[in-house]
Amino acid sequence: MKRTIEFFLSLIGSLLGVVASILALGIAYLDLFFHLIRYFEMTSDLLVGAWVSLIFSCVGFTASIVVLFKPKLSSVLLFISGVGGLICIDWFYLIPAILMIIPGIMVFVRKGKMKTETI
């Protein structure tokens, strides 16, 4: 069964997730820089979340390609990467999370066509 809608939605979601993660990384490093100047400490809570969300975006990209071959595995990976990225960097990842969770649900709920065999 062709799953082009799920493929394109998850591909766009994962690419937007990479962009959102890179923006969060930029903000985290700016926060780290200004925190270092002011308090002489190198602590940033957003930095770890931004790196982990980048990993989740890469998992989502892999799942968008796998959706054509193994749809159930892809559904689980898309759902995990969408929710995980949303937990890591909150509102930055809202649109990519929606674009990854919806195809994950679509793949899981949508049933393939059954081939009937005549005897």
pLDDT in 10s for each residue of the chain, 119 residues: 688 888 899 999 999 999 999 999 998 888 888 877 777 666 677 888 899 999 999 999 999 999 888 888 999 999 999 999 999 888 889 999 999 999 989 888 877 666 666 66
3-state class (DSSP) for residue 92: helix
Identify the CA nearest to 4 among candidates 114, 116, 110: 110
Q: Number of structural domains, the chain?
A: 1
pLDDT in the model for residue 45: 75
Query: Residue 112 has what pLDDT?
Result: 65
Within-domain flag for 114: no
Q: Which domain holds residue 38?
A: 4-109
User: Is the entire prediction scored with pTM above 0.75?
Assistant: yes
The reply to whether 117 falls in a domain is no
pLDDT at 33: 83
pLDDT value for 47: 86
Q: How far apart are the first and last CA of the chain?
A: 24
Residue 16 located in a structural domain: yes
Residue type, 117: E
119 belongs to a structural domain: no
Q: How many residues does the chain have?
A: 119
